[in-house]
Amino acid sequence: MTPRPRRWLSAPAAVLLCTLCLTSLLAAEDPGGGAWTTIFHGYAFLNSNRQSGPVAQREFESQNHFMVISSRGWGGGKLSLLGTFTLEPATVPDAGAPELFQRGETFNDVLLVDRQHPHDLIAQLAAAWENSISAASSFRLYIAPRGEPALGPDAYPHRLSSSMNPTAPLAHHNQDSTHISADVITGGVTLSRFRMEGSVFHGRESDQNRWDLEQGRLDSYSGRVTFHTPKSFSFQISSAFRTHPEDLEEGDQTRTTASATYNRTFKGGFIAATAIVGKNQIPDGKEWGNSIEALWKLREKHYLTARFESVDRDLVELITKQHRPAGVPAQRTLVQAMTLGYARAVPLLKEAETDLGIDLTAYRFTSQLDAIYGENPVSLHVFLKIAFAWPAAMDHEHMHH
């Protein structure tokens, strides 16, 4: 196994460093900069998770993220300090939350199969500076010891279309798993409705220690083009070369994604939908992960959710619950999943938005896996979601988009 990169900072040291940097910037003189504007927002699912079939598992867990953005004028443009944090290392089991047919990352040197790993305590520590070039164009520089390179659509924890679903898409590691990457430097130019970005970053996935920061050399790169229409659509296409991203897999990976997003607000609610195609090119072939998801809010208190997925999986991994041994040829199989759900706003807290929801997932897969999963396994989640924002005037759409 390739040695992990050396850990440069523990989580407490990282927080201290960011505090010192913030203090220095606050003290810096910039007569035209103005005061700092700060936004806090976040959410937490309190989730009863039930997975049926021969590999049935039950857990009570919490998926959560907390974000802070502080901005002011600086150097003729706008400087933003960005922080994203999660308590999932404490609220999700170390070996991950049960999720049938999920796959990705490791625990105790064993591939996680049928489980979704918790995210790292520090999901983002970044500074971004943006400056206008003309009335219709601008330049943006983004630097992050922990952050998101220019690859894929908005990550699922922050997509409006998935904001009422507590679970990660099965295609997460084909589409947007790089939303927590080490040592990211991104430059981007916006020209009218087009945005073009390029990143260099450390390509290795996080290890099972979710409480620290891991650094490494800038060995991977990505590029992304995004187009926003005058109405409610946006489109992106992106690709990245990642150097040895997986602990248990030899070789490098090329990831390519394309997506279309539709967000439209109307009186009493909104519609948000995202379609994503993701492909990982690895030494032994291609792995596809495609999905369509949607969230419809109506009459100010009712939510309807849906997610449809089609992903490639390896038969050996699904059967043995371990990474396929070296020398054993890949045996790709297609797994499809359909999730339908409903949530309703309930007035429990004055200071936060609270919603009570339920969703059910059914699967379609080869009969070769019937002995492992049963003929008709399902996944059920019953949850309470709490979302907050400060300033409190932020609505649900802006909290998640």
Answer yes or no: is 2 within a domain. no
Q: How confident is the model at residue 78 (pLDDT cuts 50, 70, 90)?
A: very high
Q: Is residue 4 included in any domain, yes or no? A: no
- Summarize pLDDT for 309-362 with one digit per residue, the tens: 999 999 999 999 888 887 788 899 999 999 999 999 999 988 899 999 999 999
What range defines the domain where residue 351 resides? 9-23+37-400
Residue 398 has pLDDT above 70, yes or no: no
Q: What is the CATH number of the domain that holds 146?
A: 2.40.160.10
What is d(CA 64, CA 44) in angstroms, rounded to the nearest whole number? 4
The predicted-structure confidence for 225-283, as pLDDT tens digits, reads as follows 999 998 899 999 999 999 999 888 888 999 999 999 999 999 999 999 999 999 999 98
Residue 70 lies in a domain: yes
- Say if CB 114 and CB 99 are below 8 A apart: yes
| Number of structural domains the chain divides into | 1
What was the pLDDT predicted at 215? Answer: 86
- Is pLDDT at 19 greater than 60 in this prediction? no
Q: Is residue 1 part of a domain?
A: no
Asked whether residue 110 carries a pLDDT value surpassing 70, the answer given is yes
Within-domain flag for 271: yes
16, pLDDT greater than 50:
no
Provide the pLDDT confidence category of residue 13 given band limits of 50, 70 and 90: very low
